[in-house]
């Protein structure tokens, strides 16, 4: 008896959530299992009616559509995201309206603290300026959940999550909280189906990455170097601008020497992979090549700048390639070219994508084919992604329900499955923190793990059951359930073992 | 120039016992033991703590040459507040480790310096992985070394299997405890259970039945541990916990994690292995010295551990606290008054049975030619020798070889932490 009930219950719920066509046993028919699989892997799971819609247009056509998000109308998102005012703010607006006021308040507070006796038991009240600074990451997190739940461009959202995680930055690190909004919107999302080299270059120049991996302050220890040649003309977002010769920055945070952090993670995590065949000497020379790739202070402006005074002008040798002395900013570009076209990069990126879409243990044959596609297309990520989604391994029943959902996938898919209306996503953001996946706050540059071992443990499982109970009981503030399924049945379905898989 | 120096001096001669040391610190009281089963509390400092700022080699002129702006002043410095706390005439504690000084004085705290991995990686990710699996250079080791300890020692050998035999006070299971032996990861004990108001019990029972019936062996096994744990925690009622002996835990996440370890220990739920971690050590920029970024982390770290030791009282006779970090940091400060990824580091071993008050390990020296790859503190003690000695001499494992595959465990290489 005990063994039968859950199966019957599950069957009822599958019917309720996925709708329609059921086989004799009450489980989705084989074609529908493939549809559910695709909706789970290239998106955040089926909503009521999604299986029918995909069945109607055909699974392959649905996948093709998803590979071209720019052709998918997504007008509903505008209204959903409208209340999140900081999400649409430009980098400049964020600096002027949030970061600079925060700095002023902090300086004021430090002055006050210097004049007052410290009182550890009495933490300072959160002022409106600080609240606004904190709201940046919270609103960005809300926006991420809302897109995962409601965007029609599901694959784009999955890929944005994947590539952000691949080029991870932690919003809690200093100035990064002011920069993650622009990082995801301008650096990552528009490029997830572009070329890898373009995405790599964009992250290398993004203030979020320059700050997170410390490259902004990496300098030739033998510098500073005199300004050479004619005044530079820079192309910014507002057209060409004249840049006066830069003084070497002063103060305690000013660059004093080489910092290898970016050089190392660029090869280990972003391109070649840790076994990709580089040495400590390569790390040092890559770091030297990127000296001078920096950013202005919050009062000086926004975006990437190259400061030749910080740059090490000498010759570098990277993975056997000679980068000639005197290359200036092009040193870094040459390194990115070398890395983006290196065979280890193709394999590393292929295996990560296959792990995401197909299996925790990527089939070597598929990885090899996808890596070959990467090399053949110069890292065209649309073609690379397509190679995975069109593979027999991806659509094989052996792949169905083998991956464990991450907390984000679990929460988003639960909300989607119930057809709930989210008016306020902040409580969902808090729930994700409790489930061990605070958005935009993954400390190591590795990003979150994409395998079951990271997410299956007793505490996490209890957390998921509790979230399911809250959602099913309509007790998640800001989220209203559409389902009229009895609360406990729905809780048992969403918190049960089958729903933890995708 | 100091080189090849062996540190076996007994710190107790230099130190006078302090009046406020809790009674358990008297070695006579500990010698008898309590007959309780042994416990290990592993603490991971994620992000690579700068061991040279924790246990400061103030006797090395090269230390001060390499670090013009972030060195900790010698103990005899006129700036007493910011100077190192003299341990043995050569090494000193960072002044923000003051809370641990009584433990050193009472010889319950040992340090293993220039300790680390034979692998040269300077990647946090890999180095943490190697330390947690105790298989340097091998990334495909399926389980963590603490889990292999749990596998080696069958639960019926001692207190019997309980879901709280191995607990990580973290939201994700650390690699060190991953593996086939059951372990629990929970960041807040009080929130552990099915909470659905009046329906809690019924819903919990239904969930339990559903997972028990699932063909999904992984989720099935994990859920079994979860429901067993819920039942036991309910009996123990951790919400009513109060620290003893005046232990004052910082309100930090780390302090609260250690407080919950004490709570679980004293609830007699069969806790044998506990794990907590603390981040914020990746000080590439503006590391600070006796004040600043690193010092603030050390303050939290040391006061939390001191509170745990105080709180556990005479249970420390059967407990070892072992601290570790994936690698040390470069000897020379970098261009940003910080330190880049390095190699050798300092570990601490704290407990009633520990021969403390000593810095163990051969000190390799800090002159350029004495450094690893001419930049980092060289490793003279493999971290597996420390782990293995704790496993053998403290936890009482007869044959530790399966816990450290590929490493020829030899008592001759044990630092000698337990006498």
Q: What pLDDT is recorded for position A255?
A: 57
The answer on A153 and A301 residing in a single domain is yes
* pLDDT for B234 beyond 90: no
Instruction: Point out the least confidently predicted range of A247-256, B245-254, B312-321.
Output: A247-256
List A residues 6-65 in contact with B (Cβ-Cβ < 8 A).
6-7, 9
Whether the pLDDT of residue B296 is over 60: the answer is yes
Do A312 and A359 belong together in one domain?
A: no
SS3 A84: coil
Q: B388 near B403, Cβ under 8 Å?
A: yes
Residues A266 and A375 placed together within one structural domain of the fold:
no
Residues of B in contact with A491 (CB under 8 A): 196, 203
Q: Which of A291, A317, A340 is the last residue of a domain?
A: A340
pLDDT above 50: residue A19? no
Do A310 and A389 lie in a common domain? no
| A25 found inside a domain | no
Task: Provide the β-strand partners of residue A305.
Answer: A294
Question: pLDDT tens for residues B78-101?
Answer: 998 999 999 999 999 999 999 999
Q: What is the mean pLDDT of residues B341-350?
A: 97
Residues 6+ apart with CB under 8 A from A261: A213, A214, A215, A218, B284, B340
Strand, coil or helix: what is A101? helix
CA pair distance B404, A16, nearest whole angstrom:
51
Clarify whether residues A223 and A241 are in a common domain. Answer: yes
Per CB-CB distance under 8 Å, the chain B contacts of A260 are: 340-341
Number of domains in chain A: 2
Same domain, yes or no: A262 and A369: no
CB B48 within 8 A of CB B85: no
> How far lies B162's CA from each of A276, B190, B320, B338, in Å?
43, 18, 20, 45
Task: Say if A291 falls within a structural domain.
Answer: yes
Q: A491 and B196: CB-CB below 8 Å?
A: yes
Check: CB of residue B88 under 8 Å from CB of residue B11: yes
Q: A355, A377, A399: which is the final residue of a domain?
A: A399
Cβ neighbours of A501 in B, within 8 Å: 216
pLDDT tier, B31 (very low <50, low <70, confident <90, very high otherwise): very low
- Average pLDDT rounded to a whole number, residues A48-65: 96
Query: B178 contacts in A (CB within 8 Å)?
Result: 453
Average pLDDT estimate for A318-331: 97
Q: Last residue of a domain, which of A340, A365, A385? A: A340
- The answer to whether residues A333 and A381 belong to one domain is no
Give pairs for B212-217: CB < 8 Å, separation 24+: B212/A2, B213/A2, B213/A3, B213/A5, B213/A6, B213/A7, B214/A6, B214/A496, B214/A497, B214/A498, B216/A497, B216/A498, B216/A501
Q: Which of residues 455-484 of A touch B (CB under 8 A)?
A: 455-462, 465-466, 469-470, 473
Identify the domain containing residue A85 by its residue range.
79-105+130-246+257-270+277-340
Let me know if residue A36 belongs to a domain: no
Which two tokens mark A253?
A: 């945070």
Same domain, A291 and A372: no
DSSP string, B26-60: SHHHHHT--SPPPEEEEEEETT---HHHHEE-TT-
Tell me whether residues B203 and A488 touch, CB distance under 8 A: yes
* SS3 of residue B16 by DSSP: coil
CB atoms near residue B125 (< 10 Å): 17
Q: Does A217 touch chain B (CB under 8 A)?
A: yes
pTM of full prediction above 0.95: no
Count of CB atoms situated within 10 Å of the CB of A224 = 17
Q: Which residues, 6+ apart, have CB-to-CB distance to A229 below 8 Å? A: none
Q: Is A62 helix (H, G, I), strand (E, B) or coil?
A: helix
Nearest one of B60, B81, B82, B85 to B70, comparing CA atoms? B82
Decide if pLDDT at A17 tops 60.
Answer: no
Provide the mean pLDDT of chain A: 87
Closest to B264 measured CA to CA, from B238, B239, B235, B226:
B238
Q: Residue A27 and residue A402: Cα distance in Å, rounded?
A: 17
Q: Judge whether residue B259 has pLDDT over 80.
A: yes
Between A129-138, A395-404, B135-144, B279-288, the lowest mean confidence (pLDDT) is in B135-144
Q: Are residues A283 and A394 in the same domain?
A: no
On whether both A213 and A351 belong to a single domain, the answer is no
- Pairwise CB contact (< 8 Å): B185 & A459: yes
> Within the 155-214 window of chain A, which residues sit less than 8 Å (CB to CB) from chain B?
214
Residues A304 and A361 in one domain: no
A378 in the same domain as A293: no
- Whether residues B171 and A435 touch (CB distance < 8 A) is answered with yes
pLDDT tens figures, A62-109 = 999 999 999 999 999 999 999 999 999 999 999 999 999 998 887 786
ipTM, interface predicted TM-score of the complex: 0.85
The answer to whether residue A121 neighbours chain B at the CB level (below 8 Å) is no
Q: How far is A238 from chain B (nearest CA, A)?
A: 32
- Which CATH code fits B5-188+249-413? 3.40.720
| Residue A308 predicted with pLDDT over 90 | yes
What is the average per-residue pLDDT within A286-298? 96
pLDDT band for position A126 (50/70/90)?
Answer: low
Instruction: State the pLDDT at residue A71.
Output: 97
Summarize pLDDT for B114-138 with one digit per residue, the tens.
Answer: 999 999 888 787 899 899 999 998 7
Least confident of A220-229, A452-461, B55-64: A220-229
3-state secondary structure of B364: coil
**Percent of chain A topping pLDDT 70:** 84
Average pLDDT value for residue range B246-252: 95
The beta-carbon neighbor of B335 closest among A257, A434, A500 is A257
Q: How high is the pLDDT of residue B155?
A: 56
Q: Give A488 to chain B, closest Cα distance, Å.
A: 7
Q: State the Cα–Cα distance between residues B350 and B258, nearest whole angstrom.
A: 14
Position A356 in a domain: yes
pLDDT digits (tens, 9 = 90+) for A348-382: 999 999 999 999 999 999 999 999 999 999 999 99
A contact residues 257-276, partner B, Cβ 8 Å cutoff? 257-261, 264, 268-269, 274
pLDDT tens for each residue of B194-205: 998 888 999 999
Is the pLDDT at A388 greater than 70? The verdict is yes
Do B284 and A259 count as a contact with CB atoms less than 8 A apart?
A: yes
> Which of B186, B194, B216 faces A497 most closely, judged by CB atoms?
B216
Kindly report the backbone phi and psi dihedral angles of residue B224, in degrees, each rounded to the nearest multiple of 5, phi listed first: -60, -45
Task: Report domain extents, chain B.
Answer: 5-188+249-413
pLDDT at B299 over 90: yes
């Amino acid at each position: 008896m005990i063994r039968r009930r859950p199966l019957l219950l599950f069957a009822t719920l599958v019917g309720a959530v996925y709708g329609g066509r059921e086989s004799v046993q009450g489980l989705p028919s084989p074609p529908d299992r493939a549809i559910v699989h695709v909706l789970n892997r290239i998106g955040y799971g089926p909503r009521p009616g999604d299986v029918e819609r995909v069945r109607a247009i055909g699974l392959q056509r649905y996948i093709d559509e998803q590979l071209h998000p720019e052709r998918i109308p997504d007008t509903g998102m505008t209204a959903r995201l409208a209340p999140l005012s900081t999400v649409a703010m430009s980098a400049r607006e964020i600096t002027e309206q949030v970061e600079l006021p925060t700095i002023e308040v902090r300086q004021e507070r430090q002055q006050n603290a210097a004049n007052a006796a410290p009182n550890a038991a009495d933490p300072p009240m959160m002022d409106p300026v600080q609240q606004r600074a904190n709201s940046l990451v919270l609103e960005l997190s809300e926006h991420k959940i809302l897109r995962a739940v409601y965007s029609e461009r599901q694959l784009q959202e999955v890929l944005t999550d994947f590539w952000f995680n691949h080029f991870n930055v932690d919003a809690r690190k200093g100035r990064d909280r002011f920069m993650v909004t622009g990082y995801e919107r301008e650096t990552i999302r528009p490029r997830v189906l572009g070329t890898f080299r373009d995405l790599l270059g964009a992250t290398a120049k993004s203030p979020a990455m320059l700050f997170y991996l410390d490259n902004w302050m990496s300098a030739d220890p033998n510098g500073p170097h005199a300004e050479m040649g004619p005044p530079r003309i820079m192309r910014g977002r507002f057209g060409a601008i004249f840049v006066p010769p830069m003084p070497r920055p002063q103060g305690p945070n000013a660059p004093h020497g080489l910092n290898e952090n970016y050089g190392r993670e660029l090869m280990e995590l972003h391109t070649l992979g840790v076994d990709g065949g580089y040495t400590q000497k390569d790390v040092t020379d890559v770091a030297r090549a990127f000296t001078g790739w920096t950013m202005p202070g919050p009062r000086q402006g926004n975006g990437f700048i190259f400061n030749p005074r910080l740059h090490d002008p000498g010759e570098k040798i990277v993975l056997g390639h000679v980068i000639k002395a005197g290359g200036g900013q092009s040193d870094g570009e040459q390194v990115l070219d070398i890395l983006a076209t290196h065979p280890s990069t193709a394999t590393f990126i292929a295996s990560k994508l296959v792990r995401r879409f197909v299996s925790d243990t990527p089939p070597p044959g598929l990885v090899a084919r996808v890596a070959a596609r990467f090399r053949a297309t110069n890292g065209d990520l649309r073609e690379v992604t397509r190679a995975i989604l069109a593979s027999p391994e991806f659509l094989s029943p052996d792949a169905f329900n083998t991956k464990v959902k991450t907390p984000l996938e679990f929460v988003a898919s639960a909300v989607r499955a119930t057809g709930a209306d989210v008016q306020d996503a902040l409580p969902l953001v808090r729930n994700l923190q409790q489930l061990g996946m605070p958005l935009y706050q993954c400390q190591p540059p590795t990003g979150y793990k994409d395998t079951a071992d990271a997410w299956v443990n007793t505490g996490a499982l209890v957390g998921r059951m509790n979230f399911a109970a809250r959602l099913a009981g309509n007790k998640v503030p800001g989220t209203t359930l559409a389902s009229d399924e009895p609360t406990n049945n729905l809780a048992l379905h969403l918190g049960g073992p089958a729903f933890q898989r995708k | 120039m100091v080189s090849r120096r062996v540190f076996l001096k007994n710190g107790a001669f230099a130190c006078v016992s302090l009046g406020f040391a809790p009674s358990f610190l008297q070695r006579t009281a500990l010698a008898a033991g309590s007959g309780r089963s042994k416990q290990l509390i592993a603490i991971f400092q994620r992000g690579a703590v700068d061991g040279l700022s924790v246990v400061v080699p103030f006797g090395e002129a090269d230390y001060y040459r390499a670090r013009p702006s972030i060195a900790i002043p010698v103990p005899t410095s006129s700036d007493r507040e910011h100077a190192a706390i003299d341990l043995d005439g050569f090494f000193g504690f960072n002044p923000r480790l003051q809370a641990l000084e009584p433990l050193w004085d009472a010889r319950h705290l040992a340090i293993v310096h220039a300790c680390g991995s034979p692998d040269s990686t300077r990647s946090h990710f890999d180095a943490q992985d190697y330390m947690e699996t105790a298989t340097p250079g091998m990334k495909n080791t399926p389980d963590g070394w603490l889990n292999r300890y749990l596998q080696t020692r069958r639960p019926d050998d001692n207190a019997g299997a309980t879901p709280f035999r191995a607990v990580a006070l973290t939201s994700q299971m650390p690699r060190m405890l991953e593996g086939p032996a059951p372990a629990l990861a929970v960041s807040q004990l009080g929130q552990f259970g099915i909470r659905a108001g009046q329906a809690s019990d019924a819903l919990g029972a239904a969930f339990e039945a559903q997972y028990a019936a699932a063909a999904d062996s992984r989720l099935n096994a994990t859920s079994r541990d979860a429901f067993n744990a819920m039942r036991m925690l309910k009996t123990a009622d951790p919400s009513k916990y109060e620290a003893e002996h005046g232990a004052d835990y910082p309100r930090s996440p780390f302090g609260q994690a250690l407080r919950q370890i004490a709570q679980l220990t004293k609830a007699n739920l069969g806790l044998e292995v506990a794990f907590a971690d603390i981040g914020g050590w990746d000080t590439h920029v503006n590391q600070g010295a006796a004040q600043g970024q690193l010092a603030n982390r050390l303050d939290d770290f040391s006061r939390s551990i001191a509170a745990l030791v105080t709180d556990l009282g005479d249970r420390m006779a059967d407990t070892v606290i072992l601290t570790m970090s994936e690698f040390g940091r470069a000897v020379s400060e970098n261009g940003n008054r910080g330190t880049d990824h390095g190699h050798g580091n300092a570990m601490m071993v704290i407990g009633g049975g520990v021969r403390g008050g000593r810095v163990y390990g051969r000190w390799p020296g800090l002159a350029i030619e004495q450094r690893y790859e001419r930049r980092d503190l060289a490793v003279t003690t493999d971290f597996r020798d420390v782990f293995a000695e704790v496993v053998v001499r403290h936890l009482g494992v007869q044959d530790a070889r399966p816990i450290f595959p590929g490493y020829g465990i030899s008592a001759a290489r044990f630092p000698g932490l337990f006498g």
